């Protein structure tokens, strides 16, 4: 018999339903709850499993300890308290050397085309602003978390009528969701950003608040510390298979650092394997492939002595190339997605500098004339968790194995949405439905319905 979720039915936040207002109420209650939990932190810490110890069973197993997996673990424990349910995060590389979360550029914006993505960004921004209350580990000698949330906004540019109409349509959706965004004519942009070339532009869309960038590593670090204090077990192990029967799965096979394969029994299992989520799904052997794969993206750091100043937003050129400031001292980071034909080989994370010289620099120098004179100082590559059908999150129960929950495929906007994605996963497990933001249109079932794909137009 699989173990049951102990005392889940007594879950204290049951009354909150379907709105950001409810989310705020939930947050307050969970904060009070959090204080009680913190008082018994030390007991929990002593009892937590070590990173090498593989438990025989766990109420919830989460595959992947990046931001999405860690956020799901956080909400599950934050809502239920220590001892109520056991949550184990399986992570094959606790240094996160190839994880998408730690290699991302940490951008957050409300300027999406779909309502769900806008609402998730607003939720994250509120969470980030109150990060100390959410993720502080009390009674410890650690400093309260600081994400270095820099709210300089995004400036997204359109260079033709069609792109301008698309910005206008998205703007209406964003405003109806409560985002503070403003459409700007080229003359207005020139006034506000004198360093910008605007004579070939039709329109711009600028985020007035809650947009910018933060440090994803600091968020992951804070989540992991808080999770451990709540009794979440992080185990270094690689998932290598599942034990399934028709329509059901309740064991996962994992390989520990000594190469031994062991089994863990679970009630729920969350696939939070980021770019490798498609591979993990394949191990189930079912007939529902998950359209998520790693796609390599480069980030270049360059110096420009007389570039845009400290009020520089994250700018997205009509040709898809983006840049933003990186700290002080005239440093910037930039990137851009290749075309399908240019997609680089994913075997290694080696950087191709010719992509910068040939594809990005001419576009940057056209948009900001000061960027004619720059020096590339550094670069790195990471993998997007790319959903190759509609570039949007896939969340919800697996159609064949309902014990498995997807939380994958954000395609380049997963760090900013990890907190609400994790919350949604916890609601599915504890309440069997969404209570804060309704993400049901992002379920796997959309791929089984004609015309059901949920394209996010604003992906860079």
Site for ligand FAD in 416-435 (CB under 6 A): 416, 418
- 5-9 contacts at long range (C-beta below 8 A, 24 or more positions apart): 5/59, 5/85, 5/267, 5/268, 5/429, 5/430, 6/59, 6/84, 6/85, 7/80, 7/84, 7/85, 8/80, 8/84, 8/85, 8/430
Is 67 a binding residue for ligand FAD by CB under 6 A? The answer is yes
Interface with ligand FAD (CB under 6 A), residue from 82, 231, 414, 422: 414
Instruction: Name the packing angle between helices 216-230 and 67-80 (round to 10°).
Output: 30
- Of 57-65, 129-137, 173-181, 182-190: span binding ligand FAD (CB under 6 A): 57-65
The answer to whether 355 contacts ligand FAD (rule: CB under 6 A) is: no
Does 275 interact with ligand FAD (rule: CB under 6 A)? yes
Other Cβ atoms closer than 10 A to 41: 19
> In the bound complex, what is the minimum distance in angstroms from residue 386's beta carbon to ligand FAD?
9
**CA-to-CA separations, 350 to 113, 281, 379, in angstroms, rounded:** 33, 27, 10
For the bound state, the minimum distance from the C-beta of residue 244 to ligand FAD, rounded and expressed in Å, comes to 16
Told to check if 323 binds ligand FAD by CB under 6 A, we report: no
Site for ligand FAD in 151-180 (CB under 6 A): none
CB of 447 to ligand FAD, least distance (A): 19
Q: Least CB distance from residue 68 to ligand FAD, whole Å?
A: 4
Binding residues for ligand FAD, total number by CB under 6 A:
41
Strands 57-63 and 87-91 come out as: parallel
Q: CA-CA distance, 97 to 103, in Å (whole number)?
A: 8
Interface with ligand FAD includes 403 (CB under 6 A)? Answer: no
In a 13 Å sphere around the CA of 87, the CA atoms on its Cβ side amount to: 33
Of the residues 326, 385, 435, 456, which one makes contact with ligand FAD according to CB under 6 A: 385
Rounded distance between C-alpha atoms, residue 177 and residue 120, angstroms: 10
Query: Does 77 sit near ligand FAD (CB under 6 A)?
Result: no
Q: Are 284 and 270 in contact (CB under 8 A)?
A: no
Smallest gap, in angstroms, from Cβ of residue 52 to ligand FAD? 14
Instruction: Give whole-number Cα distances, 223 to 146, 227, 273, in Å.
Output: 12, 6, 17
Q: Which is nearer to ligand FAD, 82 or 107 (CB)?
A: 107
Q: For tokens 């094959």, what's the residue?
A: 92
Residue placing its CB nearer to ligand FAD in the complex, 44 or 395: 395
Q: Interface mask (CB under 6 A) for ligand FAD, residues 82-121, using x and -?
A: --------xxxx--x--xxx-xxxxx--------------
200-222 burial: b if 16+ Cβ within 10 Å, else e: ebbbbbbbeebbbbbbbbbbbbb
Question: Which residue from 30, 80, 410, 426 is in contact with ligand FAD, where contact means CB under 6 A?
Answer: 410
In angstroms, the CA 76 to CA 85 distance is: 8
Task: Closer to ligand FAD by CB, 207 or 275: give it.
Answer: 275
Q: In this complex, which beta carbon is closest to ligand FAD, that of residue 100 or of residue 171?
A: 100
The verdict on 313 binding ligand FAD (CB under 6 A) reads no
**Closest distance between ligand FAD and the C-beta of residue 451, in Å?**
26
188-191's contacts with Cβ under 8 Å and 24+ in sequence apart are: 189/155
Residue 202 binds to ligand FAD (criterion: CB under 6 A): no
Contacting range for ligand FAD; rule: CB under 6 A; set: 16-24, 274-282, 302-310, 428-436: 274-282
Please report whether residue 356 would count as binding ligand FAD according to CB under 6 A. Answer: no
Applying CB under 6 A, which of residues 34, 412, 420, 422 lies at the interface with ligand FAD?
A: 412
Q: Which of 34, 145, 274, 307 binds ligand FAD (CB under 6 A)?
A: 274
What DSSP line would sit under 103-172, residue for residue?
HS--EE-S--SSHHHHHHHHHHHHHHHTHHHHH--TTSSSPPP----B---EEEEE-SHHHHHHHHHHHH
264 binds ligand FAD (CB under 6 A): no
Q: What are phi and psi of 405, to 5 degrees?
A: -120, 130
Alpha-helical runs (H) found in 331-456 = 353-355, 361-367, 414-431
Q: Using CB under 6 A, which of 280, 315, 425, 439 touches ligand FAD? A: 280
Give, as ranges, the residues between 225 and 244 that touch ligand FAD (CB under 6 A).
238-239
Chain residues in the site for ligand FAD (CB under 6 A):
63-69, 90-93, 96, 99-101, 103-107, 238-239, 272-276, 280, 297, 299, 382-385, 410, 412-416, 418
């Amino acid at each position: 018999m699989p173990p049951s979720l102990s005392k889940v039915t007594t879950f204290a936040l049951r009354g909150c339903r379907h709105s950001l207002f409810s989310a705020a109420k939930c947050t307050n209650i969970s904060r009070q709850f959090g204080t009680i939990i913190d008082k018994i932190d030390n007991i929990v810490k002593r009892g937590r499993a070590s990173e090498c110890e593989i438990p025989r069973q766990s109420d919830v197993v989460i595959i992947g300890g990046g931001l999405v997996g860690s956020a799901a673990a956080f909400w599950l424990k934050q809502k239920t308290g220590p001892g109520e349910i056991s949550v184990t995060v399986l992570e094959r590389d606790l240094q996160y050397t190839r994880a998408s979360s730690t290699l991302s550029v940490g951008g957050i914006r409300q300027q999406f085309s779909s309502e769900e993505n806008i609402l998730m960004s607003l939720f994250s921004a509120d969470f980030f602003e109150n990060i100390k209350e959410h993720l502080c580990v009390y009674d410890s000698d650690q400093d309260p978390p600081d994400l270095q949330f820099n709210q300089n906004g995004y400036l997204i540019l359109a260079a033709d009528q069609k792109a301008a109409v698309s910005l206008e349509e998205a703007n209406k959706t964003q405003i109806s969701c409560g985002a503070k965004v403003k459409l700007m004519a080229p003359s207005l942009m020139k006034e506000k950003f004198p360093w910008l070339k605007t004579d070939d532009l039709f329109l711009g869309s600028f985020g007035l608040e809650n947009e910018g960038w933060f440090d994803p590593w600091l968020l992951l670090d804070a989540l992991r510390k808080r999770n451990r204090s709540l009794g979440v077990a992080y185990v270094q192990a690689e998932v290598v298979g599942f034990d399934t029967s028709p329509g059901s799965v309740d064991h996962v096979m994992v390989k520990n650092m000594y190469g031994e394969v062991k089994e863990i029994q679970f009630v729920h299992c969350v696939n939070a394997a980021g770019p490798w989520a498609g591979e993990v799904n394949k191990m189930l052997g079912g007939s529902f492939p998950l359209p998520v794969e790693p796609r390599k993206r480069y980030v270049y750091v360059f110096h420009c002595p007389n570039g845009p100043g400290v009020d520089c937003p994250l700018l997205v050129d009509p040709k898809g190339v983006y840049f933003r400031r990186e700290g002080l001292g005239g440093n910037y980071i930039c990137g851009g997605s290749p075309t399908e034909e240019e997609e680089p080989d994913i075997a290694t994370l080696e950087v191709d500098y010719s992509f910068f010289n040939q594809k990005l620099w001419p576009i940057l120098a056209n948009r900001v004339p000061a960027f004619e004179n720059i020096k590339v100082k550094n670069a790195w590559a990471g993998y997007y968790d790319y959903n190759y059908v509609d570039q949007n999150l896939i969340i919800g129960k697996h159609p064949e194995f309902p014990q498995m929950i997807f939380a994958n495929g954000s395609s380049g906007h997963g760090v900013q949405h990890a907190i609400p994605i994790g919350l949604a996963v916890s609601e599915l497990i504890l309440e069997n439905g969404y209570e804060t933001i309704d993400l049901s249109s992002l379920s796997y079932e959309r791929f089984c319905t004609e015309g059901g794909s949920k394209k996010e137009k604003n992906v860079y």
